[in-house]
Structure 1
């Protein structure tokens, strides 16, 4: 059983799998239902509940100003692991972790310069996965113009932008890459507005790294019959036949792994961990075959059989012909033949 903190709820009891480990997670702006980052972290805990027998609770702060209070509540109740999701929560988590050195903490998406002994930081090479997304966008584009919609203008989100830009330019030096920021991770209307503006400027493929705001990008893609690229989780079923791929960021797997380390007693704080293309931390959804998440969406009634067929036909008719090229590029990145600049560290070029 999982009990959400609507105000703040009750502790869920561990199920019969045998673990008495309790995990509390504070989600990032946009909360559950973003079909992206938060939902992926939540799936990691659902898997841990099913496979490891842990119990967990979650809090969805209405504003980042509430993050510290939410994290502190879990720590005060002596949860075995407290997880903070999103770069905006880094400072709050560090403050709370200092006050509760006996509690294990994990943070997603921001490395710490002087990381505490009771904190594990989970980070991803989004620029590598986004390079593949940009290359695919350039290969698919017929207008020579593509777009990128970012959530908040911040170093982490620059990693997505930079990888996408470099990947597109790797394929076509003359391609135009339109780039705008919504300044919000939970505003689909704003995402739609930005995407429609890009479409007016001839963009025919748009990638987003904007959480729930990105659903507006998908709406625009459906309205105007252009293509989009999803992010973080497999979002291909959100707009069947219009999303040519999703850049996977396996937050679910890393969240599961850190929970498992607490369960089996191997948790080791004081680490900034990074997950790359080489170890499967980031990547693209299949360009040729239906993925398990797409089939699951059909089995769960999220999409119809007709919509599942639309995804399949899109892969066959649009992306399959580029699969080998994208695979080659991926291997070149893994082997170091292609070095993808991390704009989160170097900054965005003028």
Structure 2
């Protein structure tokens, strides 16, 4: 029969083993807790069928396919004052592991936050913050918008019968001038004598969410003879589509007015109006950065995506294929290859500003 001393010793061994097992289990559970990903959208909201919606698609794909916390979330700021508050909450009370800023306006809050919380990781989309990346914890992703815009500018000139095309930007900022510069060059590549009208919705972030104003600007251009407009205006761009539809009804479709979408493939929204979209793969920027983070492959620094890697492109699908002949498709893809191979040099507004 075991002695009392032996029983006590056995109890101590069992208690020690159980304690060790509990601590190990706790450590493993903490270690294996899925990361929390938090994202701030730009003005215009998740249902803009454009820039923000593309970001949300990438985020939702991450929730579905990657091992991230179900407490991960994105927010839609209604005014500028909310943006820094959202970011502070993400870094503190919500304790998010990767914090994402979508667009020019939200990205302004990141450098200071990244420096204050060096253990957090950050992604900014559409802004290069490499010079402000003091803690080396920011990944900046931008796109070669001017190259994609050159391509749809060429398409606009091909499809125009009036010799007049238009451009309507959202907020009057250098990024949107980059689109405009590429678009203008592409249109003139096809028709050096083409006339190009340009308008901007506004000078504040509210310009991204004012379809009424964009519609007024588009109607003015269409009434002056423009027959194709490229809109780069987030949710405001819906007003451009509506104006083209209104003009076609007004002329009983005897004269066709068209539009070009941006960021997401918007061809499906009004298939008789939208001849193509300049696609910018914001969804991939978000998804693959989250994937890198989950797989411990996150790196800081700046990356620019373009035509070569599919970061930007023109949208061709079942909704708009009726607009193109086989020879036009061949010409468009030839222009695309020439840009990729450097045979066509697309002017870059950013480089022009440095001079």
Instruction: Name the TM-score, length of structure 2 as normaliser.
Output: 0.83
Runs of at least 5 residues in structure 2 that lack an aligned partner in the other structure: 1-31, 249-256
Structure 2 counterpart of 1:236: 267
1:80–1:262 CA contact under 8 A, matched in 2: no
- 1:153 alignment partner, one of 155, 163, 172: 172
| Residues in 2 aligned to 1:348 and 1:285: alpha-carbon distance in whole angstroms | 32
Structure 2 counterpart of 1:80: 97
Pair member with larger Rg: 2
Structure 2 counterpart of 1:170: 189
| Residues in 2 aligned to 1:70 and 1:200: alpha-carbon distance in whole angstroms | 43
- After superposition, the Cα gap between the structure-2 partners of 1:100 and 1:236, relative to the gap in structure 1 and judged at 3 Å, is same
| Residues in 2 aligned to 1:197 and 1:83: alpha-carbon distance in whole angstroms | 38
Q: CA deviation at 1:278?
A: 0.8
Residue 136 (1) aligns with residue 155 (2): yes
| Residues in 1 aligned to 2:97 and 2:330: alpha-carbon distance in whole angstroms | 45
1:162–1:348 CA contact under 8 A, matched in 2: no
- 1:326 alignment partner, one of 318, 328, 332: 332
CA deviations on 1:241-287 (whole Å, 9 max, x unpaired) are: 11000000000011101000110001112x0111011111000011x
- Name the Cα RMSD after superposition: 1.6
Structure 1 counterpart of 2:252: none
3-state SS of 2:89 partner = helix
Q: CA deviation at 1:224?
A: 1.2
Structure 1 counterpart of 2:132: 114
3-state SS of 1:64 partner = coil
1:135–1:168 CA contact under 8 A, matched in 2: yes
| Residues in 2 aligned to 1:264 and 1:133: alpha-carbon distance in whole angstroms | 37
Structure 2 counterpart of 1:123: 142
3-state SS of 1:327 partner = helix
CA deviations on 1:179-234 (whole Å, 9 max, x unpaired) are: 01001000010111000000011010000110000000000111112110000001
Q: CA deviation at 1:19?
A: 7.1
1:130–1:164 CA contact under 8 A, matched in 2: yes
Runs of at least 5 residues in structure 1 that lack an aligned partner in the other structure: 1-17, 291-310
Structure 2 counterpart of 1:201: 224
